Chains A and B, each alone.
Chain A
Amino acid sequence: METSNKALTFSLKKLFYIWFIIGITSFGGGAITQFLIQDKFIYEYRWITEEEYTTIIGIGQITPGINTLAYTILIGRKLAGFRGSVLSVLGLVIPSATITLALSAAYLSVNQYPVVQNALKAAFASIFGISIITNWRNIRPILRHGKQEGLLPLFSFLLIIVITAILYRVFNFSVILLYLIGSCAGIFIYKFIIKKKPRLPK
Chain B
Amino acid sequence: MIYWCLFFLTVLKAVLFSTGGFGPLPSLHTDFLANGWATEKQFAEAIAIGQIAPGPNGLWVVSLTNLSGGLIGAILGAIALILPPFFILLVRKFYARVRYAPSTQGVLDGMVLVVSTFSIVVLANIFFNRSPDVILLLIAVISAALAATKRVSVNLILLVSAVAGALLLH
Contacts and interface: CB of A to CB of B under 8 A. Distances in A.
A78 to B, nearest CB: 10
Interface of B: 13-23, 26-27, 30, 44-60, 62-63, 66-67, 71, 74, 78, 81-89, 91-92, 95, 98-121, 123-127, 130, 132, 135-137, 139-145, 147-148, 153-155, 157-158, 161-166, 168-170
A173 to B, nearest CB: 10
B18 A179 contact: yes
A84 to B, nearest CB: 11
Contact of B111 (A97, A101, A127, A179): A179
A122 B137 CA distance: 9
Contacts of A174: 30
A186 to B, nearest CB: 3
Contacts, number: 359
B106 A123 contact: no
A26 B54 contact: yes
Interface centre among A66, A99, A134, A200 (most CB of B within 10 A): A66
Contacts of B78: 93, 97
Interface in A99-143: 99-101, 103-105, 107-108, 111, 114-116, 118-136, 138-139, 142
Interface residues of A, number: 98
Given A65-B19, A97-B78, A135-B119, A59 B91 contact: yes
Contacts of B106: 183, 186-191, 198
Given A69-B85, A100-B53, A122-B166, A64 B102 contact: no
A59 B95 contact: yes
B136 A77 contact: no
Contact of A198 (B17, B100, B127, B139): B100
A175 B24 CA distance: 10
